[in-house]
Structures are given as C-alpha cells and as structure tokens.
Amino acid sequence: MGVYALQDAKVVDMGTLQTLQAGAGAVGVLSKAPQIWSNWQMGGTGQLSAFTVFLYLAGSLSRIFTTLQEVPDRLILYGFMGAFLLNGVLAAQMVYYWSSPATKDHGEEMGEKGSRAVAAVENGGASATGVQGRGKGPSTRRRG
C-alpha cells in the first residue's frame, strides 16, 4: 500500500518524493559520521568488523555502477557517492588502525586487569568481594 502511494503522482507529488529521497540519502551518509569520529577519537576501530566494512565499500561501489547504468536520477547517485566516500574513509581507518589496540588506554586496562589477577592468585584465589574461589572459572551448568 505504501509503495503504491509513493508511485502514484496523485498521492505524493514529485517534489515531495524528491525531498524524501534526499532525506534518505542524507541519513544514510550521516549515519557513518559517528563511527568515523569514534574511530578517530579512540585511535582504533575497536570491534568494528573489517569484513563488513569492506563489503559495505564494495556494495556502495556497485550501487554507483548500477545507478549510472539504469537510473538517470542524479539525486540517488549523489547519495550513493557520498556513502561510497564515507565507506572509503571507514575502510582507510580499518587499514590505518589495523595493528593498534582496541582503544588508546587498552594496554593500561590490560595491565590493571593483569595486576588484579596476580593479586587474586597471591591471596589464594580470593576475589575483590572476599569470596574464596575454587580455582576454576564460573560454571554455565544449570543448578536446580
């Protein structure tokens, strides 16, 4: 029903449809900006999947190609070009930060956790809550 309404010029005029298309393109492009900013601030990509980033890059390139071949609408093309550009920035960040830790303070965090583990072993397995450990990790076995 909604698709029919968008295709019928009596229901939605061409100007409104173009505005909706421009808005969708802008939202798609702007949705990448927070991730790019976050990567730059952290100095790494964290848990961002390289596989996904490079597939997004390839997908946006293919959308540009198919739009050039099939659709004479420049508004749609510009949205896909913007998405390709920002996907390229994400891919470049992925390559640039490939060997960096998850965050700038990741090494310090690991040092803190490591010193806590050493302290727990030195205390005979006691944790920070004062509960004596059995020397094993937590069980996932259901009890009851």
Give the residue among 124, 49, 129 at the shortest CA–CA distance from 90. Answer: 49
Q: What is the pLDDT of residue 75?
A: 85
Distance of alpha carbon 13 from alpha carbon 45, whole angstroms = 43
Q: pLDDT at residue 34 above 60?
A: yes
pTM: 0.61
Distance of alpha carbon 15 from alpha carbon 12, whole angstroms = 8
First to last CA, the chain: 52
Scored b (16 or more CB within 10 A) or e, 119-131 reads eeeeeeeeeeeee
The letter for the amino acid at 25 is G
Summarised one tens digit per residue, pLDDT across range 72-111 is: 888 889 889 999 999 999 999 999 988 776 555 554 554 5
Distance of alpha carbon 122 from alpha carbon 54, whole angstroms = 46
Helix axes 74-96, 14-30, angle to 10 degrees: 0
What DSSP character marks residue 71? -
